[in-house]
Amino acid sequence: MGARVGLVQRRGVIAGMGAITLLPGAARAQAGFPAQPLRLIVPFAPAGTTDLTARLVAQGLGERLGQTVVVENRPGAGAMVGSEAVARSTADGYTLVMSNIASHAISPSLYPTGAVRYDPVRDFTHIALVTSNPSVWVANLRSGIADVAALLQRARSQRGGLDVASSGAGSSNHLLIVQLAQVAGVSLNHVPYRGAGPAMTAVIAGEVPAMSDSLPSAAAHVRQGSVRAIAMSSETRHPGFPEVPTFREQGLDIVSTSWFGISGPAGLPAAVVARLNAEIRAVLATQEVRARFAEFGGTPGDMDAAAYGRFVAAEFARWAPVVKASGAEAG
C-alpha cells in the first residue's frame, strides 16, 4: 500500500513545486485510467459535513473505478490551502478536490487579493456536483419565535436588533443573515461562533434566540425538536422536512443552497472527466448513498461536468457582491 501511495503522491508533489513537471501526465493518464489510486483532497479538517460526504463518495467511487480513492485532509484559509494544492497539481485525474461553496464561491472574494492564489473557475476542471443542501433558520423553543413574521417583528422592536447566531464569520450562513436583513429591511445582530456545534448549543440554551444553519448540521436537532425550524432557504419545501415552510412562502425572496462537488486541476483530459463524472453520478444514484444523504438533508447532485462548471462560475459571480455588502473581510 505504502509504495503505491508514494506513486500517486509523486505527481501531486512534483506539480506542487510548480517548477519542474517531468511527466507528460495528461498523455499518460488517458490509456487505462485509472491505473493507480486517486487522491481526493478535502480542504477542511476531519469530521464535518464535507469530510463525511467525501469519505462516503470516495468509498463507492473506489469500488466502481477499481482503485482506492484516498481521502486526504488539507485544511486552512477558508478551504483555500487544499484547493490551491490541487489547482497546481498535474492534470491527470489522480488528484481531485472536494470543491465547495467556501473554497470556490465565497473565500476567493472574502480574502485579500494576495492570499487568493487561484481562480475558482479558470484554474479547475469541474467534474461533478456531489450534493447540495439549503440553510434552515432555527429558533429557541422558549423564544416565542415561530415564523419569519415573528422574527422580523422582534428584529424591529428590539434595541440593537435581533441576535442571530451562525457557524462563523464569512460562512454562507452569515452571508444569509446579511442578505435577509437587507431584503427585509430589519436590523439583525450577527453573533458568530466557532463552528455550528457551539452555535447550536447557544440556541438550545437560549443564549441567542435564533440561528442560520446548514441543514446537515441542524437536521438532527430539528427532527428531535430541541429547536424550532422557522424557515428553509430552498425554492420549494424540502422533501425530508415537509412541515418547514420556505422563506419565499413567508414573503421573503431568499433562496440559497450550499454545495459540494468534485473538481480537478484545469486541463483534465475530456475522457477522464467523462469517466469520473459518470462514475460519481452512478455512486450518487445508489440507494445506500441516497439514504445517507437524505438523513442529513442533502440532495444528491446529478449534473454533467459542463453544467457543474457553469454552476460554479455562477455561484462565484453571485456571492462576490454579497460578500462585499456583508462587510466581512479576511484581510
Which residues, numbered 15-44, are part of the site for another protein (CB under 8 A)? 16-19, 22, 39
Residue list 234-293, contact with another protein (CB under 8 A): 291-292
The amino acid at 218: A
Tell me whether residue 248 is exposed, middle or buried, using C-beta atoms within 10 angstroms of its C-beta: 0 to 12, 13 to 18, 19 or more. middle
Min CB(330)–another protein separation in Å: 5
Stretch that binds another protein, among 126-134, 166-174, 246-254, 265-273 (CB under 8 A): 166-174
Min CB(304)–another protein separation in Å: 28
> For residue 273, which of 118, 265, 140 has the smallest C-alpha distance?
265
Query: Which residue in the set 21, 24, 27, 47 belongs to the binding site for another protein (CB under 8 A)?
Result: 47
Give the integer Cα–Cα distance in Å for 83 and 79: 7
The amino acid at 274: A
Q: Binding-site residue total for another protein (CB under 8 A)?
A: 76
- Please identify, using beta-carbon distances, which residue of 10 and 281 lies nearer to another protein: 10
Stretch that binds another protein, among 25-33, 120-128, 196-204, 268-276 (CB under 8 A): 196-204
Query: Which residue in the set 34, 93, 108, 170 belongs to the binding site for another protein (CB under 8 A)?
Result: 170
- Please identify, using beta-carbon distances, which residue of 164 and 272 lies nearer to another protein: 164
Give the integer Cα–Cα distance in Å for 156 and 166: 20
- Please identify, using beta-carbon distances, which residue of 198 and 251 lies nearer to another protein: 198
- Please identify, using beta-carbon distances, which residue of 125 and 326 lies nearer to another protein: 326
Min CB(178)–another protein separation in Å: 12
Min CB(4)–another protein separation in Å: 10
Tell me whether residue 193 is exposed, middle or buried, using C-beta atoms within 10 angstroms of its C-beta: 0 to 12, 13 to 18, 19 or more. buried
Tell me whether residue 191 is exposed, middle or buried, using C-beta atoms within 10 angstroms of its C-beta: 0 to 12, 13 to 18, 19 or more. middle
Stretch that binds another protein, among 46-54, 136-144, 178-186, 300-308 (CB under 8 A): 46-54
Dihedrals φ, ψ of 146, to 5°? -110, -20
Stretch that binds another protein, among 78-86, 137-145, 231-239, 261-269 (CB under 8 A): 78-86
Cell numbers for 111: 480574502
66 contacts another protein (rule: CB under 8 A): no
Q: Dihedral of CA 7/12/15/16: which sign?
A: negative
Query: Which residue in the set 31, 122, 205, 242 belongs to the binding site for another protein (CB under 8 A)?
Result: 205
Stretch that binds another protein, among 122-130, 189-197, 273-281, 312-320 (CB under 8 A): 189-197
- Please identify, using beta-carbon distances, which residue of 46 and 251 lies nearer to another protein: 46
Query: Which residue in the set 35, 220, 270, 271 belongs to the binding site for another protein (CB under 8 A)?
Result: 220
Residues 105-144, mask of contacts with another protein (x by CB under 8 A):
-----xxx-xx-x---------------------------
Q: Which residues pair with 38 in a beta bridge?
A: 69
- Please identify, using beta-carbon distances, which residue of 162 and 305 lies nearer to another protein: 162
Min CB(154)–another protein separation in Å: 15
